[in-house]
Amino acid sequence: MSEIVDLSILNAIYKIIEERSREQPEGSYVCALLNDPKGINKILEKVGEETTETIIAVKDGNKEEIIYETSDLLFHLLVMLFECGVTPDDISAELARRFK
């Protein structure tokens, strides 16, 4: 089933998120999110913002904007999942379980 649900780029970004969390390099946007004093609420705010921006792009019928905003949303969802200890493989397994 893994050849059908290809999440390889999401896995690669998730691994970078893990690495940033471990190594804490200066200027990292991921670290800025993970270290924000608002904690998980900062990440959830971003997920909410990017969801809204994606919805607006879809309502506007702008394909380029849909791709751009959905990418922002998926990235912030990955940071959220990392904070929750959920991996892309967990999501992949659930999607594969539902696959008919």
* Interaction site with ligand PRT (CB under 6 A): 13, 16, 20, 28-31, 46, 49, 72, 75
Nearer to ligand PRT, 30 or 57 (CB): 30
Nearer to ligand PRT, 49 or 65 (CB): 49
CA end-to-end distance (rounded Å), the chain? 11
What is the enclosing helix (H) or strand (E) of 34? Answer: helix 29-34
- As measured in angstroms, the least distance from the Cβ of 81 to ligand PRT is 14
Give the whole-angstrom CA distance, residue 84 versus residue 14: 13
- As measured in angstroms, the least distance from the Cβ of 88 to ligand PRT is 14
- Please give the structure tokens belonging to residue 3: 């050849």
